[in-house]
Amino acid sequence: MEDSLNVKQIWDLLKKNKWIIFISMCICALLMSGYLYFFSTPIYQSETQVLINQSVPQNTIVQSQDVQANLQLINTYTSIIMSPRILEQVSNNMDDAYSTKELEQMIKVNSTSDSQVIKINVESANASDAVKIANETVTIFSKDVPKIMKIDNIYVLSEASLDADAAPVKPHTSLLIAVATLLGMILGVVIMFIRNLFDRSIKTADDIEQILGLPVLSIINEIKDDDLLEKKSGRRRKKRKG
């Protein structure tokens, strides 16, 4: 019984304070929407792919050792892409719009296990710059690798392109608004419990029975000033008639 009573009390509290919870959810959602619209910077992403594959003469069987050697080179190539030698040239080709430190934060090099494909992702607040940086990085990398490694095994699979309807990848607007709404609901519930914790007033007959443990025999309704004036005027009329 005690558990069901506690659950009922919580449910009653939720019903009594539903507007507080609703307003808290709306305020948090509006604040997050305002931040996303006025203060946040949309981030666009572009991607290009290169294949690490040793060129072999025709009618030559590619041995598994060759493929394994190419896989082992991927980590080396990843380091070369992010090296100052490559990034400085990219910065120069971008008219020094971005420093090498900024390019390090914007460029991400990824490769899946047992794959000879390297993906170069670039994130920027400018969609056009993201495409240019990705393509410049791949172009400079493919030209410098033969000079550095003395081998030519870089093939560009796909170049980055600028879409007319490119959508930003960050921030995730709908997700952030949903999270803010959820936090607003939690905040409203916390406010509800805090108010109930510090509220020692008795408002209903049920409160008297629960707090004092006494049965309520009768209830005196609130007497308003208008009621007193009506009673006084009624008495005067009776006296005049008498």
Task: Supply the pLDDT for residue 234.
Answer: 62
What is the CA 6 to chain-centroid distance, rounded?
Answer: 35
The end-to-end CA distance of the chain, in Å, is: 61
What is the spatial distance between Cα 173 and Cα 39, in angstroms, rounded to a whole number?
13
Residue pLDDT tens, the chain, 242 long: 344 446 777 888 888 889 999 999 999 999 999 999 999 999 999 999 998 875 544 444 445 565 566 667 788 888 899 999 999 999 999 999 999 999 999 999 988 777 788 999 999 999 999 999 999 999 999 999 888 887 777 888 889 988 877 888 888 999 999 999 999 999 999 998 888 888 777 666 676 666 666 776 666 666 666 666 766 666 666 666 65
Q: Tokens 């980590």 identify what position? A: 75
Enter the DSSP assignment of 223.
Answer: P
What tokens does 205 get?
């007959």
pTM for the predicted model, two decimal places: 0.67
Could you tell me the domains of the chain?
7-36+173-236 (no CATH), 44-158 (3.30.70.1130)
Contact at 8 Å (CB) between 158 and 74? no
Short-list 97, 96, 103, 134, CA closest to 118: 134
